[in-house]
Copies of this chain bind each other. A is one copy, B any other.
């Protein structure tokens, strides 16, 4: 087993073999999204330098940006104390969110208890993702 395989093997995956990965902007620290990796998608992420995840809904590997071109260049990967969560710092090209916002966390709980949109869309999802796809 090489060192990278060993580093990947010590992580604590859930019953589905997944580990959550927080993706943050390496330049300003903004949390962009959270997605799930399995051992193989983490390996692909390290080897290609671009984030790869496992889609729980589509049950397949996906590279962030494979449809939109909004890829994420990996600058650093961290693991937490319990080895059950990853933090990936990236250079985000375009937007992280398929809804058109730079970050998926574009809604904030207001003082009167409502989820309010607090960001502006930076692209039009209908133009980037083919409709009906």
Does A46 interact with chain B (Cβ within 8 Å)? yes
Number of copies: 2
Contact assessment for A81 and B99 in the assembled complex, using a CB-CB cutoff below 8 Å: yes
Does A31 interact with chain B (Cβ within 8 Å)? yes
Q: How far is the CA of A80 from the CA of B20 in the complex (A)?
A: 14
Within 8 Å by CB of A3, from B24, B30, B112, lies B112
Q: Give the contact-size bracket for chain A.
A: 35 or more
Contact assessment for B115 and A80 in the assembled complex, using a CB-CB cutoff below 8 Å: no
Q: Which of A10, A108, A115 has the most chain B CB within a 10 Å cutoff?
A: A115
Q: How far is the CA of A108 from the CA of B98 in the complex (A)?
A: 28
Inside 8 A of A109's CB, which chain B residues have their CB? 7, 46, 76-79
Q: How far is the CB of A117 from the nearest CB of chain B, in Å?
A: 11
